[in-house]
Structure 1
Amino acid sequence: MGEASTSMIVAEGVGKSFTVRARRAGRRRRVRTAVRAVDGVSFTVEPGEFVGYLGPNGAGKSTTIKMLTGILTASAGTLRVCGLDPSRRRTALARRIGVVFGQRTTLWWDLPLRDSLALVRKLYGVDPDAHRSRLAELTALLELEPFLDTPVRQLSLGQRMRGDLAAALLHDPELLVLDEPTIGLDVVSKATVREFLARLNAERGTTILLTTHDLGDIERLCRRVMIIDRGRPVFDGGLGELRRAVDADRMLVVELDRAGPPVTVDGITAERTEGPRQWLRLPRTANAAAVVAAIAREHEVRDIALREAGIEEVLAGLYRGERPYGFPGPSGTAPGAPETLAAE
C-alpha cells in the first residue's frame, strides 16, 4: 500500500496486543500474557466522510484511535492515514490531522485561551496572516469571543471543549479525529459543538472520525457507522442499515377511542397502557400492516404510530450478540482474552 492512496484512512488487518506480567497462584515466577485489544480491523475512510466509530467499553475504540494518530504502533496489519504510516511519520501526520480527546485538554492550563491558541500557531508553524483569518473564523463559529482572554483553568467544560476544537483546527487539517468530544457537556454546549461539526464537514469537507457513547451525536452527525466489539469489527454501514440488520423490535403506539383492557391481536398483547393509549411490541418478523388492520377492525382508533427501534436498543441488541447479517460473531480465542507466553 503506497503513499499515493487517495483514501483518508486505510486499515488492513490491524491488530494491537499488549504484554501483561503478573503472578499466578501456585507459581513462583511471573507469567507474561499477551492481551489482544484490537484484532483484524479493516476499513477505509474516504475524504469528506463523517464516520462514527462505536463499541462498548473495552471494545478497542481508543486503542484504534491511538494507532491512527501514531501514539501506538500496530502489532499486526498495515495502516495509512493521509497516505502516511502513523507510527513512522508521526510529525508529518500531525500537520495534516487534528485530534481532540474529550477527557484531556491540549490547552495550557494557566494561560488565557487566546495565548494558548497563539502557542498552537507556533507549534504548527502557521503563517500569522492565515492564523488571524482562521482564528477569526473559528471564534465566530464556536462563539469563543466572550472567553478568549479567560485562563483555561477558569473555563467551563463546554467552553474548554470549544477551545480544544479551535486548537485542533487552527492549522486547517484534512482529518479531524474526535474521542468523546461531548462527554460531560450540558445540552446547550452539546448543541453548539454538534452544529459546528456538521458545518465543518458540510462546508469545508473536513473528514471526521468520531468515537462517542452519546448516541445523539451519532444520530445527528454521522452518515456511516462502524462498530467494534471485543476488538473485532461487527458492522460497517448506515444507521438505517444497522436497524434493519439487527433483529430489534418495533413499537406500535395505538390511541383508542376510550380506555379498555390491553389489546391482543395475532398473539401480540399490549405491554403497557395509559388510559386509551397502548403500546404493542412488534417482532421484526411481524407484518405491521396486518396488525394495524386487525386492530382497526376490532377497535375504534383515534391515532396509530409505528416507531422503529432507537439506536440505543439496536446497539444493545448488537452487544448482546444479535449480530447483523453477514457479520458473524467472534470465533476462536476472543480478543481481550489472555494468551500465556512464558514464565519469567
Structure 2
Amino acid sequence: MRGSSGMIRGTVAIAVEDLRKVYHVREGGSWRGRTREITALDGISFSVAAGEIAGFIGPNGAGKSTAIKILSGILRPTSGIVRVGDLVPWQDRRAHVARIGVVFGQRTQLWWDLSVAEGLGLLRDIYGVDPERFARNRARLTEALDLGGIMDQSVRQLSLGQRMRAEIAAALLHDPEVLILDEPTIGLDAPSKLAVRAFVRDLRRERGTTVLLTTHDMHDIEALAERVIVIGHGRILTDSPFQDLRATTLSERILEADFVTEPPVLDLPHGATETMRDGRSVTITFDPRLVPAQVLVAQLSAVPGLDDLRIGRPAIEEIITRFYADHAT
C-alpha cells in the first residue's frame, strides 16, 4: 500500500549502517594546542520502515543530536551508510530536504518578526510548492492544528504551544515522506502535548508518514512509538518494541492496598516487598515471575480491614532510568 507521502508502506524509509562520527576538539583554547578525538557515534545501525513511528531516545550526550543532524543533512558523518528513501542526506541535500520535515523543539524554522501566514508563504517559495497544493495543505493544517486564530500574529507573539503547532505546520507544508521530531512537546502544557500526539497519530494513520521521534518526555514515546531505539555512548543499546523493553528491564508490578484503619504488619511472600507506607495505604512492589498477582491479591484480601486494591506498572520514566543505569558503562 502506498501512503499519501509516496512511499510504499513496509519498505525501508530510513536505513543507517555502521554510522560513525568523530569530532576533533582542540585542547587548551589555542590553535597550537593538541587535538583529541571524541566519538559521538560508534558504528550504529538501524532502519525505520515506511509508515512507522519509531522512538529514538538516550541520555544527554548519547549521540542522538548528532544522528539527527546527519539524517537531516546538516552534518556529514566520518563513515558509514545512510539513506532516507533512496537519497544520501549530505550528498543530495536539495532533493533530500524537499522530502523530509524536521521539527526542532528548541529551534524555529519560522521568522520571529513575520506572521505565521507570511512565514508559511516564504516556505512555500523555498520548497517550490505549487499554489493549489499550498492552499490545500495550508487549509488542512490550519484546521488540524487549530491555527486559524494565530495566522496573522507574529511568531514572537505566540505562546510556546502555539509556536510548536505552527512549527509542525511549517514542517508538513510540502508533504514530506519522513518527519523527524526532535523534542516536539518540550515545555508544552498537558492539553498542547495531547493535541500534538493526536495529530502525529492521525498523520501516520491517514497519510502514511514515517516518523522518527526523539524526546526526553517518555510519555511521548509511550503514546506514539511502536518501537524504541535506545542509544548510549554512541552505540545502539537496544532496538525493540517498548513492551519488550519494559519486560526485560523492569518486570516488577506495583500493588497499592488501602485499609479502613492503619495497615497491619504484612507477611509478604518471597518476590514481594513493601516499598512505602502512607497513612492508611501500603505500596508493594512484586515480581510476577516469582509471585503471581492473583496469589498476592488473594493473600491481601484475607487481611482484616482491607478497603481497596490496585495493581499497576512502574512509570515509564522509572523503566528508562533503570535501563540507562544498567548500561552506564
Q: Same fold (TM over 0.5)?
A: yes
Name the residue aligned to 1:70: 73
Give the whole-Å Cα distance in 1 for the aligned partners of 2:21 and 2:183: 21
Contact 1:262 1:269 in 2 (8 A): no
Q: Bigger shift: 268-277 or 240-249?
A: 268-277
Name the residue aligned to 1:193: 196
Give the whole-Å Cα distance in 2 for the aligned partners of 1:165 and 1:83: 24
**C-alpha distance 255-164 of structure 1, shift in aligned 2 (>3 A):** same
Match of 1:154 among 151, 157, 163: 157
Contact 1:113 1:148 in 2 (8 A): yes
Q: Bigger shift: 5-14 or 156-165?
A: 5-14
**Which structure 1 residue ranges, 4+ long, deviate > 4 Å from structure 2?**
297-300
Give the whole-Å Cα distance in 1 for the aligned partners of 2:68 and 2:91: 16
Match of 1:270 among 274, 281, 306: 274
Give the whole-Å Cα distance in 1 for the aligned partners of 2:95 and 2:177: 13
Match of 2:100 among 89, 94, 97: 97
In the TM superposition, what are the counterparts of 1:208-227 in structure 2 within 5 Å?
208-227=211-230
Name the residue aligned to 1:85: 88
Contact 1:256 1:277 in 2 (8 A): yes
Contact 1:174 1:206 in 2 (8 A): yes
Give the whole-Å Cα distance in 1 for the aligned partners of 2:160 and 2:298: 51
Name the residue aligned to 2:232: 229
Q: Bigger shift: 252-261 or 60-69?
A: 252-261
Give the whole-Å Cα distance in 2 for the aligned partners of 1:317 and 1:284: 18
2:121 is equivalent to residue 110 of structure 1: no
Name the residue aligned to 1:293: 298
**C-alpha distance 254-22 of structure 1, shift in aligned 2 (>3 A):** same
Give the whole-Å Cα distance in 2 for the aligned partners of 1:245 and 1:15: 28
Name the residue aligned to 2:178: 175
Q: Bigger shift: 202-211 or 278-287?
A: 278-287
Name the residue aligned to 1:334: none
Deviation at 1:300, TM superposition (A): 5.3
Match of 2:316 among 297, 311, 319: 311
Contact 2:51 2:204 in 1 (8 A): yes
Give the whole-Å Cα distance in 2 for the aligned partners of 1:261 and 1:294: 13
Name the residue aligned to 1:15: 20
Q: Bigger shift: 182-191 or 101-110?
A: 182-191
Give the whole-Å Cα distance in 2 for the aligned partners of 1:114 and 1:23: 48
Contact 1:19 1:35 in 2 (8 A): yes
Name the residue aligned to 1:139: 142
Give the whole-Å Cα distance in 1 for the aligned partners of 2:50 and 2:285: 41
Deviation at 1:257, TM superposition (A): 5.1
In the TM superposition, what are the counterparts of 1:305-344 in structure 2 within 5 Å?
305-321=310-326
Give the whole-Å Cα distance in 1 for the aligned partners of 2:292 and 2:145: 45
**1:14 is aligned with what amino acid?**
L
Give the whole-Å Cα distance in 1 for the aligned partners of 2:249 and 2:154: 48
Give the whole-Å Cα distance in 1 for the aligned partners of 2:65 and 2:219: 19
The unaligned stretches of length 5 or more in structure 1 are 324-328, 331-344
Deviation at 1:79, TM superposition (A): 0.8
Contact 1:243 1:309 in 2 (8 A): no
Q: Bigger shift: 289-298 or 137-146?
A: 289-298
Contact 1:225 1:237 in 2 (8 A): yes
Match of 1:36 among 36, 39, 46: 39
Deviation at 1:284, TM superposition (A): 6.0
Give the whole-Å Cα distance in 1 for the aligned partners of 2:222 and 2:84: 26
Q: Bigger shift: 161-170 or 276-285?
A: 276-285
Contact 1:248 1:317 in 2 (8 A): no
**2:58 is aligned with what amino acid?**
G
Deviation at 1:285, TM superposition (A): 4.5
**C-alpha distance 269-157 of structure 1, shift in aligned 2 (>3 A):** closer
Other structure's SS at 1:265 match: coil
Deviation at 1:114, TM superposition (A): 0.4
Contact 2:269 2:291 in 1 (8 A): no
Other structure's SS at 1:273 match: strand
1:119-150, Cα deviation, whole Å (9 max, x unpaired): 10000111101100110000000000101011
User: May I ask how many residue pairs the two structures share in their alignment?
Assistant: 318
Q: What TM-score comes out, normalization by structure 1 length? A: 0.87
Contact 1:262 1:271 in 2 (8 A): no
Contact 2:13 2:84 in 1 (8 A): yes
Name the residue aligned to 1:338: none
